[in-house]
Amino acid sequence: MKKHNFNAGPSVLPRIAIENSAKAILDLNGTGLSLLEISHRSKDFQAILDEATALFNELLNIPAGYKILFLGGGASLQFDMVPYNLLNKKAAYLETGVWAQKAIKEAKFFGDVNVVASSADKNFTYIPKGYIIPSDVDYFHITTNNTIYGSEIRYDMDSPVPLVADMSSDILSRPVDVSKYVLIYGGAQKNLGPAGVTFIIIKEDILGKVERKIPTLLNYATHLKEPSLYNTPPVFAIFTCLETLRWIKSLGGVKAVEEMNIRKAKLLYDAIDNSRIFTGTVAPDSRSLMNICFVMKEQYKDKEEAFMEAAKKKGMIGIKGHRSVGGFRASTYNALPYESVQALVDCMNEFEKENA
Ligand SMILES: *Cc1c(COP(=O)(O)O)cnc(C)c1O
C-alpha cells in the first residue's frame, strides 16, 4: 500500500532525491567509487558543494556579502553558536515554542536575554503581535516555523537590530528576503535533506563584535575561511540536499513551491474548518503551511484513537500530534505530494460520516 509520509522530521523527501542519492551511494557519476568513500577534498565533492551553494544562492536570491555553510551539529548547536559569536551583552528572543525556548536557554549562558514576547500563555497556539523589538540588543532571534505547535511567521519583518532566524522547518518553502536577516540556520532534516547537516546563511560582516574568545570549531570565522571544509562535512547529507535543491529548481523555484504549499495547506485547513468533529488548534492568522495541527472537538475526544487507527489503515504515517499538543499533526513539507493531503482529507471525511 502507498504510504503517505506526514512525519515532522526527519521527513518526506523528493523521490528523485532519494533515488539519485541511492545511485550515488553505489557509484558516483561513473567514478567507480561510492559517494560514501570519496574524499571531502576531492574534485567530485567540491563540485557537489559548489553546486549546492550556487543553487541555494539562486533559489533564495541571496544578496552579496552572505555565505552559505553546511555543518554538523544540528540546529541545536546553532542555539549555542549564535550567541557565542554574536551576543556581546544582551540579545532579544521571541518565545513561540519549545525550540525557541531551547534557543533562549542556551543564549543565557552567554549574556542577558530579553524575551520580548511569548505565546506560552496559550500553549504557543499563536504568534505574538504588537511587541517592540528593543534597540539596545545585539540581535533579535525568531523561530519562523514552530514545528511542534504549527504556527508560522510567514513574512520577513523589519528589525532595528540584526535579525537571526531558525528556519529549520520552513526553509525554501517560500521566497525570503534574506537581506532582512544577518543569519538564518536550520537542521536539514525537515524540508531539505537527511539528518546530519545544518545549513547556515550568514552575513559576513556581523562577526568580530564580541569580546570573548571563541573555540575554533564553534567560531563562524573558521568556517567562512574554508566554507564547509575546515573539518570533514557530512558529505552524504550534503549530496541529498543538492538533489532537493535541483528538484526545487526544476519545479520553477521557491515561488512555485510556495504556491503548491498554499494549495496543500488550504485543502487540509478547509477540511478542518468545515468539519463537525475536527477543529484546528492554532489562531487562523498564525497557521503554519508546514505543520498542520488539529484535534477532535470536545464531544468527540474519545474517538481520536479510532481515527488514528483508521488513518493508519489507509497508509497515513506520522499524523500523531506532538505529546505536548495531543491530537494530530500533519506535516506538509515541500516534498509531500498533494495526493497525500487529499488522501488524508478523504480519510477524515469518511471517518466523520461514520462517526458523527
Ligand atoms: C527540529 C527543529 C530543531 C532541532 O533541530 P536539530 O537539528 O535536531 O538540532 C530546531 N528548531 C526547529 C524549528 C526545529 O523544527
Task: Name which CATH class applies to 253-355.
Answer: alpha beta
pLDDT tens per residue, range 235-275: 999 999 999 999 999 999 999 999 999 999 999 999 999 99
| For the CA of 143, the nearest atom of ligand 1 | 13
Using the mean position of ligand 1's atoms as its centre, give its distance from the Cα of residue 88 in Å.
24
Distance CA 262, CA 165 (A): 22
Task: Determine whether 102 is exposed, middle or buried from the number of CB atoms within 10 Å of its CB (0-12, 13-18, 19+).
Answer: middle
Cell of 46: 567540491
| Catalytic residue set | 99, 166, 190
Q: Give the CATH number of domain 15-251.
A: 3.40.640.10
pLDDT tens per residue, range 328-345: 999 999 999 999 999 999
pLDDT at 356 over 90: no
pLDDT at 111 over 90: yes
Percent of the chain with pLDDT over 90: 99
Domain ranges within the chain, ordered by starting residue: 15-251, 253-355
| For the CA of 188, the nearest atom of ligand 1 | 7
Which residue minimizes the CA distance to atom 5 of ligand 1? Answer: 75
pLDDT tens per residue, range 283-328: 999 999 999 999 999 999 999 999 999 999 999 999 999 999 999 9
Cβ atoms 63, 263 nearer than 8 A: no
Using the mean position of ligand 1's atoms as its centre, give its distance from the Cα of residue 295 in Å.
23
Helix pair 43-59, 235-251: axis angle to 10 deg? 40
Distance CA 198, CA 189 (A): 9
Using the mean position of ligand 1's atoms as its centre, give its distance from the Cα of residue 105 in Å.
14
173: left (phi over 0), alpha (psi -120 to 50) or beta: alpha
| For the CA of 99, the nearest atom of ligand 1 | 11
Distance CA 327, CA 323 (A): 9
Using the mean position of ligand 1's atoms as its centre, give its distance from the Cα of residue 43 in Å.
31
When pLDDT is cut at 50, 70 and 90, the band that residue 22 belongs to is very high
Which residue minimizes the CA distance to atom 13 of ligand 1? Answer: 168
When pLDDT is cut at 50, 70 and 90, the band that residue 37 belongs to is very high
Residues within 6 Å of ligand 1 by CB: 9, 74-76, 99, 143, 147, 166, 168-169, 187, 190
User: Which pLDDT score is estimated for 2?
Assistant: 86
User: pTM of the full predicted structure?
Assistant: 0.98
Cell of 326: 495531543
